[in-house]
Amino acid sequence: MAQYQPQGFRVLPPAVKHLLIINVICYAAYYLLAKQHIMDLNALLGIWSLQSGNFHIWQPLTYMFMHGSFEHLFFNMFSLWMFGSALEEYWMTKRFVFYYMVCGIGAGLLNMLIPGFHVSVGASGAIYGLLLAFAMMFPNDYIYLYFLVPIKNKWFIIGMVAIELFEGIFRSYDGVAHFAHLGGMLIGLILVLYWRKHPFSRI
């Protein structure tokens, strides 16, 4: 298995950098327009169920650049930087962007199949896809829970899957799109396995 050798905290590959900028700009626009009671961008750009009457064709793409709170944005962007930087260096930019976008769009579309789904925003589906890929690329490397407790990536992702599955089944009305998270990981798993079988794929 490949071993990831970090280059230091200054590493910020181009795709990760631009994704960070886009997400921050989108959140700032949402916040400022909502504060002035001009428009709710999350209602327009978030992904809605087909039954709601509010679904538009662009939403499976735009929803993953919108966030409902600063905390939501911060933790997603921190994870994008932490895991995305390593994956973009490992895969190179073209494959990384393809993976990120497909995981995010796929997560949104799969989440629309869940009964009771209403509207969703956030990059979490794509981010969970990154977590899955990071664990598969570097399974025996360590991640530090709360910056203190070391745990191998492979055990960390197995725990995350179990938690999201439990939360999705038993706490489906907690306002968190758990099945979007699982959907992002499922799409990511399919892509990683495909690339392992076809290592010379252009994407």
The residues annotated as belonging to the active site are 124, 181
Q: In whole angstroms, how far apart are CA 118 and each of 12, 46, 103, 112, 141?
A: 35, 10, 20, 8, 38
How many other β-carbons are positioned within 10 Å of the β-carbon of residue 32?
12
* Sign (positive or negative) of CA dihedral 88, 11, 138, 187: negative
DSSP state for residue 43 in the 8-state scheme: H
CA atoms of 29 and 43, how far apart (whole Å): 13
What count of Cα atoms within 13 Å lies in the side-chain half-sphere of residue 101? 12
Q: Is 51 exposed, middle or buried (0-12, 13-18, 19+ CB in 10 A)?
A: exposed
Say which DSSP state 84 is in. I
What count of Cα atoms within 13 Å lies in the side-chain half-sphere of residue 164? 21
